[in-house]
Copies of this chain bind each other. A is one copy, B any other.
Amino acid sequence: MEIKIVLMTAVASILALLFAVFTAKKVLKFDEGTDTMKKISQFVRRGANAYLNRQYRIVIIFFAVIFVVLGIMAFMKLLTPYVPFAFLTGGFFSGLSGFIGMKIATASNARTANACREGLNKGLRVAFSAGSVMGFTVVGLGLLDITIWLFLLKFVFKLPDSEVTGAMLTFGMGASSMALFARVGGGIFTKAADVGADLVGKVEAGIPEDDPRNPAVIADNVGDNVGDVAGMGADLYESYVGSIISSCALGVSAYKSFGAMALPLCIAALGVLCSVIGTFFVRTKEDAGQKQLLGALSKGTNFSAVLIGIISFPLVYFILGKENYTLYFPILAGLISGVLIGRSTEYYTSDSYKPTQKLAASSETGSATIIINGLSVGMLSTLIPIIIVSVCVLVSYFVSGGAGNPAMGLYGIALAAVGMLSTLGITLATDAYGPVADNAGGIAQMAELEEVVRERTDALDSLGNTTAATGKGFAIGSAALTALALMASYIDKVKILDGGLEKISNLSINNPTVLIGLFIGACLPFVFAALTMSSVGRAAQSVVIEVRRQFKEIKGLMDGTAEADYAKCVDLCTRSSLHEMVLPTIVAVIVPVVVGLVLGCSGVVGMLAGATATGFLMAVFMSNSGGAWDNAKKYIESGHFGGKGSDGHKAAVVGDTVGDPFKDTSGPSINILIKLLSMVSIVFAALVVKFSIF
């Protein structure tokens, strides 16, 4: 029975990968369009490839260093010898998820633009298929990675369950580190290019967005692929894997049974199957409008969610026995919470609702007002998600028997995260399709296709904004739940270490080491946001200078007789974003170890709780402020409050520019940060227990 479950999971993961390959082949059959389109697409592809290659080269150094450190710790018997290797594979698969996502996205953008020449529906199909490739690659690789390690550690090396999950948590650390590099580096790249292109091109030179005369235009498109696609791929691989392995670990410590460890895997496997089925529902009629398009996408995700919601009940019943059937409810609570957080995000950031409309209206009194109100909308928007997560945590804890046995309650919380992410295959598909549509629009503009093509890609793109909001809801909500689960895993881990029980005996919140840990942890997301924002600022500044130089020095650029030096801008963005991504990541890896050595394990727990609480708030605040500004600008551009070119529009552009690093660099990175902090703490727990001051 045990081996059967592992095999079943393996089959599901391979199925997901096969579906991805099959879909990719389908996408590649479409035509790339005119020669200009091919050429532009080629440029973008080359830039993105070059960036990722150089990023991986830097990341490899980091992984080598940590590998050696972990190796030394294993040699000192502070870790099992599998840990360093698990760390490497986590990083490798996370990077691979991003890489494949980027490959398919850069292969699909021209194809989507070309398909839009024939019709909106065809465009949707190509873009959504590209998104599906990414979605199923991420879940397939994630599930496969976990299954292989589980198989090796449990059935080949025959380790006890608690050591199995311990080693598996290490590959979570690898995945998180890789994800943080990808999100931060890619996030800086995309926003530096975007801001740089806009500031000089749109504002100073007065040429439209995506105009081929703008030297930074290719860099901007490359950025979408390395930031929004490759970054997101690595990020969600990390979330997915993190939620599964943390609940495996907590399952083992709560129930001491293989079933509790296997349940998260089974739910994930079930999720993959239901998501595949859901994709077949994403179809519309040829003359579909915006609403029908959204309806088509929602139909797919909703169908998958309902299917999982129904089938997971017998699954829990079958695996854990009828006395534990209540563990079904956390899964359901997670699923519902994810949807609700997505709805709240949509409410605060979509221009169909009051907050963003009012924000747009406030542009009439200038940029200061729209900034103040945008910040205020973002801060206020933290309230509903925090209540949703709180209710979800309480329900999950108590229905799974936390009142009698806290370990069971914590397992429940972890299961809620798994439930929330079980639909990842299809939600990621609807999420990742956005940047593809965005890029298609860029190519349509640069290749000077007919006006109607650009209109169609814009329709797809704006739809992408809504689905991205839902996707963000899942990402943020699951990050908070997973971080809480990882915190619990950390406490479990310390308890079984030599001398650990004593170090963790007083976790009372009025114990000063816990309290100070809390303060420092709460401060980390602020510092992290500051570092990443100022990185974007510096990188953008260098792009501005380069673009200005090209406009000045390249004769005939403005009248179209000479070509801009796109490669120079891409190279500049690459260099500065890679340079800037190192410090934030190193901070995230070193701080938990230092806090542990100074304040001890109780300080670490305080730090994790503080970082999770403020991290969640900052991520919601920054993502939603950014989203609201973006859509307020689009709302004005669609003809409200003076429309394009009015003073209000100029003010809204300022808001949108401030929002760029908020929503695409700092906000999403914080999600990864809070999990990486826990993973690092877990891996270095033995070291801290042995050498800490307190």
Residues of A participating in the B interface, judged by any CB pair closer than 8 Å: 195, 199, 203, 362, 365-369, 371-373, 375-380, 382-383, 386-387, 389-390, 393-394, 397-398, 402, 406, 409-410, 413, 484, 487-488, 491, 507-516, 518-520, 522-523, 526-527, 529-531, 533-534, 536-537, 540-541, 544, 605-606, 609-610, 613-614, 616-617, 621, 653-654, 657-658, 661
B406, A530: Cβ atoms under 8 Å?
Answer: no
Which of A365, A544, A616: most chain B CB closer than 10 A? Answer: A365
8 tightest Cβ-Cβ pairs between the two chains A and B: A368-B657, A379-B530, A380-B530, A522-B613, A376-B533, A379-B526, A376-B534, A507-B508
> Once the chains are docked, how many angstroms separate the CA of A526 from the CA of B375?
10
Which of B377, B383, B491, B614 interacts with A510 by CB under 8 Å? B491
A367, B367: Cβ atoms under 8 Å?
Answer: yes
Q: Contacts A386-B520, A390-B516: A530 and B376 contacting too (C-beta < 8 A)?
A: yes
Complex interface: chain B residues within 8 A of A389 (CB):
519
A390, B519: Cβ atoms under 8 Å?
Answer: yes
A510, B379: Cβ atoms under 8 Å?
Answer: no
Q: Contacts A605-B509, A617-B522, A654-B367: A393 and B541 contacting too (C-beta < 8 A)?
A: no
Q: Which residue of B lies closest to A622 (CB)?
A: B375
Listed by A's residue number, 5 A-B pairs whose Cβ atoms lie within 8 Å are A372-B657, A372-B661, A508-B509, A518-B613, A654-B654
A527, B379: Cβ atoms under 8 Å?
Answer: yes
Q: Which residue of B lies closest to A541 (CB)?
A: B365
Which of A376, A402, A487, A509: most chain B CB closer than 10 A? Answer: A509
**Closest chain B CB from A618 CB (angstroms):** 9
Complex interface: chain B residues within 8 A of A534 (CB):
372-373, 376, 380
> Once the chains are docked, how many angstroms separate the CA of A389 from the CA of B614?
18
A609, B507: Cβ atoms under 8 Å?
Answer: no
Complex interface: chain B residues within 8 A of A390 (CB):
516, 519-520
Chain copies in the assembly? 2
A617, B393: Cβ atoms under 8 Å?
Answer: no
**Closest chain B CB from A480 CB (angstroms):** 8
Which of B378, B484, B512, B526 interacts with A393 by CB under 8 Å? B512
Q: Which residue of B lies closest to A524 (CB)?
A: B383
Which of B519, B537, B616 interacts with A616 by CB under 8 Å? B519
**Closest chain B CB from A410 CB (angstroms):** 7
> Once the chains are docked, how many angstroms separate the CA of A559 from the CA of B369?
29
Q: Which residue of B lies closest to A661 (CB)?
A: B372
Complex interface: chain B residues within 8 A of A380 (CB):
526-527, 530-531, 534
Complex interface: chain B residues within 8 A of A657 (CB):
366, 368, 372
> Once the chains are docked, how many angstroms separate the CA of A332 from the CA of B426?
60
**Closest chain B CB from A382 CB (angstroms):** 5
A510, B512: Cβ atoms under 8 Å?
Answer: no
> Once the chains are docked, how many angstroms separate the CA of A387 from the CA of B609?
17
> Once the chains are docked, how many angstroms separate the CA of A44 from the CA of B423?
63
Complex interface: chain B residues within 8 A of A606 (CB):
509
Complex interface: chain B residues within 8 A of A610 (CB):
613
A386, B523: Cβ atoms under 8 Å?
Answer: yes
Which of B199, B382, B491, B519 interacts with A613 by CB under 8 Å? B519
Which of B540, B609, B614 interacts with A515 by CB under 8 Å? B609
Which of B195, B203, B362, B653 interacts with A537 by CB under 8 Å? B362
B410, A510: Cβ atoms under 8 Å?
Answer: yes
